[in-house]
Amino acid sequence: MVDFAQYLPKKNGVVAHVCPKCGKKYYPAPMVCSECGTRRDPAGVAYEPWPTEDLEGPCTLLTWTRLSALPIGFDARYMVFGIVEFPGGLRASGVIHHDKPQIGMTFYARAAVVRTNRGVAEYGLVFEEAADAVSARTA
């Protein structure tokens, strides 16, 4: 019998999947690991589901853009959107909470509500300036 509870949204809704054989992290998860070829089966019927871990922590900004034509559910006039890299090499995209981001800046990634769609909160990654980067700028 399939446990359908695993398909319900997680508390924060943003997780990295870890290949059980080689340990490579993915976001979003592929069906086959690009490193070792291990297959992923979200239902756990043919293969064991891959373990997950919360996707948060320090990261470095690789690139960013400012979006002005936002879809329904976003209340802001624009959104700063970027791609970051985590220390293990995993890359992810999300909303930047900084007015003047610069490539190479250190941010802290966390899961947060990025919009509300028909009354349902949708989670995504939010990048905020790391505390050590703030203290270094003000010193």
pLDDT in tens, 53-92: 888 899 999 999 999 988 777 777 888 999 999 998 999 9
Check whether residue 89 and residue 103 sit in a common domain.
yes
Give the C-alpha separation, 134 to 97, whole Å: 13
* Residue at 34 is within a domain: yes
Among the listed residues 90, 95, 99, 103, the one whose alpha carbon sits nearest the alpha carbon of residue 123: 95
Residue 73 belongs to a domain with what CATH number? 2.40.50
Check whether residue 46 and residue 104 sit in a common domain.
no
- For the stretch 41-48, contacts whose Cβ atoms lie closer than 8 Å and that sit 24 or more positions apart, written own/partner, are 42/6, 42/7, 43/2, 44/2, 44/3, 44/6, 45/2, 48/20
* Residue at 2 is within a domain: no
* Residue at 77 is within a domain: yes
What's the confidence (pLDDT) of residue 123? 86
CA distances from residue 122 to 39, 77, 104, 116, 130 in whole angstroms, order as listed: 28, 19, 28, 6, 24
pTM metric for this prediction = 0.76
Check whether residue 119 and residue 77 sit in a common domain.
yes
Comparing 64 with 135, which gets the higher pLDDT?
A: 64
Check whether residue 15 and residue 29 sit in a common domain.
yes
| Number of domains, the chain | 2
Check whether residue 133 and residue 85 sit in a common domain.
yes
* Residue at 73 is within a domain: yes
Check whether residue 40 and residue 83 sit in a common domain.
no
Check whether residue 130 and residue 66 sit in a common domain.
yes
Q: Is the alpha carbon torsion for 86, 89, 90, 96 positive or negative?
A: positive
Check whether residue 100 and residue 113 sit in a common domain.
yes
Comparing 124 with 107, which gets the higher pLDDT?
A: 107
Check whether residue 63 and residue 113 sit in a common domain.
yes
Q: Which domain holds residue 16?
A: 11-54
Give the C-alpha separation, 119 to 12, whole Å: 16
* Residue at 4 is within a domain: no
